Each structure stands twice: as C-alpha cells, then as structure tokens.
Structure 1
Amino acid sequence: MRSRPVSGRAMCHPRCGGRASCRWRRGRQWRCGWGTSERLRIEGLRTIKANPQRASGVRHDAHAALRRIRVSPWRRLGHDEGCSFQELPMFARLTRRAALAAALLALPATAFAQSWPTRPVTMIIPFAAGGPTDVLGRVMAERMSQILGQQVIVENVGGAGGMTGTARVARQGQDGYSFVLGTVGTHAVNQTLYKEPLYNAATDFAPVTLIAEVPLILITRKDFPASNLQEFIAYVKANQSKLQYASAGAGSAVHLGCLYLNSVIATNDVTHVPYRGSAPAIQDLVGGRVDYMCEISSTALPHIQGGTVKALATMTSARAAVLPDLRTAQEQGLQGFEAYTWNAFFMHKAVDPAILARLRAVTIEAMDTAAVRDRLVALGATMAVPDRRGGPYLQRLVESEIAKWAGPIRASGATQ
C-alpha cells in the first residue's frame, strides 16, 4: 500500500543516520504496511475471534487494540524507531477518540447482535389494553421475558385502526429494541381502508413469525330479538337504519368481520361505531348502547359464558374449540363465509438479521411452552404450525391478505 508523504521536505530523522533500512527518503513515497484504521479493525476482529462469547465487550476490546497500537505507532507501521512521529502521514496521526470510533465502526454488526438484548425490549400493541390482541401479547411477553433475561415491556399505542402504534415501529424501530404485534387489520385491511395509510405493510417491516389464528364470533346485546343467524339477518335487514355495530376501531379485525358480514347479507346501512379497542366496545354492548359485534373469540368468551351477551355464530369454517356447541355461519346458511384474524410479530425493515433471527427463535420457544400454548388455546386461538412460522411465509401471508380484502372493502364504500 502506498501513501504520499506529508510534504516534499520530509526526510529521515537525524538519528537514523540515513540507513538503508529506513524507508523514509527525500522526495520518495513512503512504503509501509497497513494503515492505522485497518490495523485497528484487524486487532478488534482477532480479539472477537479468540473469544466470541465476549461480543458484549467490544468497546473494551477496541480500547485494548488502540493501546497496543499507540505504544509505538510508527514502529508498528513499519518504520525504524529513528523516524519521528511528526514525519508520519497525516492519516496515521489519529486522535485517541477518532481511532476508537474507527475501530468500533469497523467491527462487524453481528458482534453487537450476539449480545442482544442488553436492555428491556418494547412490544407495541397497537390497540387498547384489555382487548384480545393485548391479552395474547401479554401472555407472550411474560414468557419471552424469562427466555431473554430482559423484560419485554408491553406498551399499548392505539389509534387509526392500529396504524398509530404500528407506524412507530416502522419509523423508529431500526435498533431492534421495539417490535409490533400485528393483525390482519394493521397489516392488510388498513392498506385499502385508508386512502393514505401511514406505512406500507408489505415493504416497511421485517416479518418475524406468525403466532396464531383466532376466529371471530357474532355477538349481540343480550336482549337482541334473534336467537340464531337467520333470525339476526331478517331483523337487521328490516331495521338496519336504526341499528349500530361496534368495533375495536376502523380497520381492526372486529370492524373487518362485521363489514364483511354486512356486505354479504346486504345490510350496509347499519351505523359503524368505532372504539379505541375491544374492551370499551364490549362494555357498551353489554350496556345495550350498541347492538352487535363480530368479536374475537378470546375476548367474547367470558362475556358469552357470563350471559352478558348473546352468541349467534362462529364466523369460521369450523366450530371454535372453546365454543363447540355454537354453529358456524356456514352451517347456518352462509355458504363460503369465513372471517378471522391472526397475530404476528413484525420488526423494522432495516433491523439486524441476527436480531430478527433471535426474536423469531425466542417467539417460537415461547409458543411451544406448554403453559403459553394451553392459555392461548383456551382463549380460542389456533397456534401456527411449524411450517407457518418462518419469515417468508408471513411475508406471503401479508401480501395475500392485502389482495384478499381490497375488493370487499372497496365494494362496501368504507374507504376513508
């Protein structure tokens, strides 16, 4: 490697006596080995290679490498001790701070990722506390905290059908210390429901893993004048301008389910009342202030069992394991009708691949924990099977769901 001298006047130090071994000559270029920044990088890599378990001590290793080089920088760069420091090329005269920065930047990013996380991690749940997505997220967070050895903090950031919280990860989550629990609403429906969505669900995220699929249940206030789906359809058709249906927010899975149902049974004049999450929506349903909902089974179940609401149909092709006696919409005459939601983790699109892989492994380990699996199944969830847990599968799911719901949403005229 060749480097130009600092000036044409540069010459050997008087003590070298013009020996042939000195590589510094008047008017000639300096021939030496690697530069300081390259040697810093090599020193750091050697340290990590010798002890890969000390990835968390990268700063210490960089400092140590710097100290070794600074003992005699011109000697390490290939000069006799007679050559003075002032005669070194300018790039070699780095300050301690600049050299350390160069060393840290040169070290591979995976060295930092190996020790992830070194502080608490935030799980963004883009809906209000107490709702079905929140319940599932908190069950997962507790076990994931145990596996990681760092707390997984649950933060509820509702608004805009889940887009507000989801957008935070898309914009600020590149450091790997926040991720979002997404749904069919946040990562499919909102892309068509809103004319100007806050993010591109297909390109702005790195898919982690699919966790579970959850059926929707058609529930009504307990005094609603219908005891099955066909009676419900007849009553809604005759009174649609007087009725209201609730949801966890525009674009939520709960909104999607009833939007789809209303379009199929031709009752699009029913008023939609969006809430900031399922919990306040169900509260008003129990209180009789709204007429019906297409609620996620995990949230609807305790109210059905408690008799505070009435369940009329399971909105999937198969009956829910937690409500085996409740007939499906297909069994009650709506052939081919199916509405459900799913839950999955997503990170920022630019997150380090090693961190993404680590979170995926931790998520799967939590899913396979018997206590977690039993709790979620008891809430009505169907856990994702192994061949549906990879990032590529989740990416394909998001893209297909966006296309699947675009037509019904546009046909309903619900685009905002």
Structure 2
Amino acid sequence: MKQSICGGFLRATVMALGIAGMMAAGGAQAEDAYPSRTITIVVPHPPGGAVDGVARLFADKLKAQLHESVIVENRPGASGMIGAAYVARAKPDGYTLYINASIHSINPLLYKKKITFDAVKDFTAVSLLAQGALIFSVNPKVPAHTVEQFITDVKADPNKYTFATSGFGSAGHLAAAQFLYDAHISKVPIVLYRGSAPALSDLVGGQVSAIMDPMLSSLPLVQSGKLRALAVTGKARSPLLPNVPTMREAGMKDFEFYSWYGLWSPAKLPPEILSKLEAASSKIMDSPEMKERLKALGFESSYKNSADFTAYIESEMARYKKVIDAAHITVS
C-alpha cells in the first residue's frame, strides 16, 4: 500500500513538472512569436512632411523584416506632442512604435511647464534611422540670390520679411533662429505652421519669405523652380544640389544643422523585443536599397543601436539648449 502511494506521488510530481515545463516553453514561444499582429508606427505630424516620408519608407521595409503588417498612423498637433503623449501612455509591447524627428528632443527644452510626458524617461530609444541637411530657400520673388544679399536686404527693410517653420521647436525653427541670431537680425518673425506642407504652400504663394526645411519636402519645389535655394545647412554640398553652397561657404561661420529621425517605443520595452527591433532596423538602414532611396531624398542612413542612440540624444539636447539660450527662444 505504501509503495502504491509513493508511486502515485512520483507520477503526480512528474506530471506537474511536465506541465510546468510545457507552460514555460509556451511562454518562451509566446515571446519568440513577436510580432503576431499589426504594428502601428505613430507619426506626430501631418502626412506629406519629412517625418512622414521617412516613416513610410521604414514601415514598408519593417513589414518585410518582421513578416507582419505595419501601418503608419498620423497624430499631428502641438509640435508633435499630441502623438508623443499618446505613445508614452501606450503598452510597451512592441505593437505601438513612434517615429519623429529631432523635435522630440527639443520640445522638453521649450515646453518645460506644458509638456505632459518625459521625452526621455517615458520612451525607449530604439534606434537612430537617418539624418539630413536642411535647404535654406526663399520665394522666387525675393530679390536675394545669395545668403549675404539676403542678410543685407533684410537689415535694410526687415518688415518685408518673414521666416516659416514647420513646427515650433523643429530643426528648421532652431536653424532659422540660429541664422537670425548669427546674422544679428532681430525683427524678422518666425511664423509657426502645423507641418511642412502648409508652410511650403504659403512660401510658394508668397505669404512668407523664407524657410529652412528638410530636403525631402523642399527639394521638389526647388527643382521645379517654385522656390530658390540659397544654401544647404550640411557640412558639405548636397549631390542633389551641387551648385548650392553650404552655409559656411555662404559666409556663416561654423553654421551646420541637421534634422535627424529616430524610432522609439513606450518605456520599459522588453529586452527581447528591443533586440528584434534593433536587428530589423539595422538590416533596413544598412541595406543598399534603403541608402539609395534616402540619398535620392536628401538623407543619409545613420543607424545607431539603442544604447548609442540614447547617448546621441543626450548630446544633441545639450547642443540644442545652447542654441535656444543664445537665440532667446521662448514659448509665448
């Protein structure tokens, strides 16, 4: 009788261990199964701008890498903060991702009291994707054909001129503010728009005079003659605009500015999902096809993994703070 009881106990123990093992294996399989449903990439700007363009290129390739549907959802407003706040509140399961430009790291330096999330702590920085210089362009009716002439004309009659920006705190906004500060121009307003598309529309129509804007959105208008490029903000001339000087060549000492684009998720993304997204991002951004497509739009692939991207954000925020403080940029 005792032997039978012991045998039953052993059998029950083995079965229990077997069930536990099956459950553990099932849990591991569930983790390995990511993704198993549609992934949404939130873009906190309207369709048609540079961020949207980069996001849609990336989403198409991410779908192929992860073998799952990937959609882009535009949630514009408040210089990107509406979409960012939405992502900050989302579940960190890898199914809600976020692509934005450098404005994500600029907003907390400007909206210290109004921002409802922490742009660093409430997000996992997954990877840096791309970066690109801006085009300093003007409406063709503006007389100036050089940066030097533009500065002279503006100083002679500042009331005739305005700068457009695709968003308060965007790379274009800070670049314009730095230019005006460096050129000692204080009376030219920077007009805020909700995205590149409406800003460029008004620039073409002559409602505003100038803009510093990513190539993806501005280049077609320059190439068609609807806008005139005075300079590019990169270290070297763009192969897409070989006859357009850099800001340094145009006489603006040490002037160099880029818009960069990154991939984030909500904070506390599980390490195994982060690793999958890092690997997928690396393959996408390092592929010859992606590099060529970005190059044609005025960008370069600039992949960084999560740790390096996090460090890069920290250094960029320190640089942006210097520009904001020097130019006295404040939220009205």
Q: Please report the TM-score for the alignment, with normalisation by the length of structure 1.
A: 0.74
**Cα distance in structure 2, aligned partners of 1:318 and 1:336:** 12
Aligned partner of residue 136 in structure 2, secondary structure: strand
* Residue 323, structure 1, aligned to residue 323, structure 2: no
CA shift digits 1:177-210 (9 cap, x unpaired): 0111122111x21121112333222322212111
Pick closer, same or farther for the CA change 1:198–1:38 going to 2, 3 Å.
farther
* Residue 222, structure 1, aligned to residue 137, structure 2: no
CA shift digits 1:352-396 (9 cap, x unpaired): 111111112122222233332211111111111xxx521111001
Match of residue 338, structure 1, among 256, 264, 283: 256
* Offset, 1:412: 2.5
Aligned equivalent of 1:153: 71
**Cα distance in structure 1, aligned partners of 2:307 and 2:151:** 40
Aligned partner of residue 300 in structure 1, secondary structure: helix
Q: Does the aligned pair in 2 maintain the 1:314–1:329 contact within 8 Å?
A: yes
Aligned partner of residue 143 in structure 2, secondary structure: coil
Match of residue 42, structure 1, among 14, 21, 24: 21
Aligned equivalent of 2:107: 190
Q: CA RMSD in A?
A: 2.4
**Cα distance in structure 2, aligned partners of 1:380 and 1:278:** 15
**Cα distance in structure 2, aligned partners of 1:368 and 1:316:** 21
Aligned equivalent of 2:195: 277
Unaligned 5+ segments in structure 1 are 1-15, 24-31, 49-57, 59-106
Equivalent AA in structure 1 for residue 157 of structure 2: N
* Residue 380, structure 1, aligned to residue 295, structure 2: no
Structure with more contact order per residue of length (Cα contacts < 8 Å, sep ≥ 6): 2
Aligned equivalent of 1:234: 152
Aligned equivalent of 2:308: 393
Q: Percent identity?
A: 33
Structure with the greater alpha carbon radius of gyration = 1
Aligned equivalent of 1:414: 329
* Residue 166, structure 1, aligned to residue 81, structure 2: no
* Residue 141, structure 1, aligned to residue 141, structure 2: no
CA shift digits 1:232-262 (9 cap, x unpaired): 1112223334422111111122212112211
Q: Does the aligned pair in 1 maintain the 2:286–2:301 contact within 8 Å?
A: no
Equivalent AA in structure 2 for residue 406 of structure 1: K
**Cα distance in structure 2, aligned partners of 1:208 and 1:37:** 40
* Offset, 1:35: 12
Aligned partner of residue 154 in structure 1, secondary structure: strand
Aligned partner of residue 235 in structure 2, secondary structure: coil
* Residue 287, structure 1, aligned to residue 205, structure 2: yes
**Cα distance in structure 1, aligned partners of 2:45 and 2:93:** 23
Q: Please report the TM-score for the alignment, with normalisation by the length of structure 2.
A: 0.91
Pick closer, same or farther for the CA change 1:33–1:410 going to 2, 3 Å.
farther
